[in-house]
Amino acid sequence: MIRFLAVLACVFCLSGCSPLSFLEIFEGEKAKPPQSEKTAPAPAKPETSRPQRQHPQVEKILVQARRLWNESTVCSEPRKAAALLTQALRGEPENVEALRLRALAYKDLKYWDGAEEDATKAIVLKPDAFNYAARSLIFSDSGNFLGAEKDARRALVMDDKLPIVLVAMAEVNFHNNDAVAGCRNLQAACDQGECQPWKRAEERGLCRDVVYPGRLP
């Protein structure tokens, strides 16, 4: 028996097993499991992009409203336009185009407070030449000529080819008794496709006798 145990111990020593391993096997203990390796984090799910319009009906309403504008500053039915755009803004209160168009419709209806409020909201959301020019036109009609000139000049710096900007600047020119500059800006707007303001100025006699050498640079 002693010889058997000695031979068995030699076998374990030669095989690299330690006495502790021998005891664990002998006593039936299980070896400790290996430490788990760190697993790479699961890739993040791509964010789903939000739809541009949360309310599909808003675009349909805007299409109807746009048809009431022959040009960017001339609305054929401002009361109908204001009603349509109010409906659109119930669905999307921060729709910039709806705010700007309703501001222009309110201007034609002489609802100055609502017009200025809508135009200012549009500028806060998107301070571009179109929105500044729209508010300039509202200021001109309501008698706030300092505000009108400030917005028109800011819009002109941003985009001096946009028809509504040229029309807004012309309104400022006429108020400042500069008919030549006003008529030049209206002619430039007509060259860009918006001619009704020019025709109205001619009918009022503002540009009938004005000779201008082409567009403003």
pLDDT in tens, 5-16: 444 444 444 444
pTM of the predicted protein model: 0.72
End-of-domain residue from the set 88, 107, 126: 126
Number of domains the chain is built from: 2
End-of-domain residue from the set 78, 100, 126: 126
Is residue 37 a part of any domain in this protein?
Answer: no
What confidence score (pLDDT) does residue 12 get?
44
Same domain, 152 and 109: no
Same domain, 140 and 213: yes
Residue 57 has pLDDT above 60, yes or no: yes
Q: How far is CA 102 from CA 128, 136, 177, in A?
A: 17, 15, 30
End-of-domain residue from the set 86, 101, 126: 126
Q: Chain-wide mean pLDDT for the chain?
A: 81
Q: What is the CATH number of the domain that holds 63?
A: 1.25.40
Is residue 150 a part of any domain in this protein?
Answer: yes
Residue with tokens 């400790």: 32
CB 123 within 8 A of CB 155: no
User: For residue 71, what are the β-bridge partners?
Assistant: 74
Residue 3 has pLDDT above 70, yes or no: no
Same domain, 142 and 215: yes
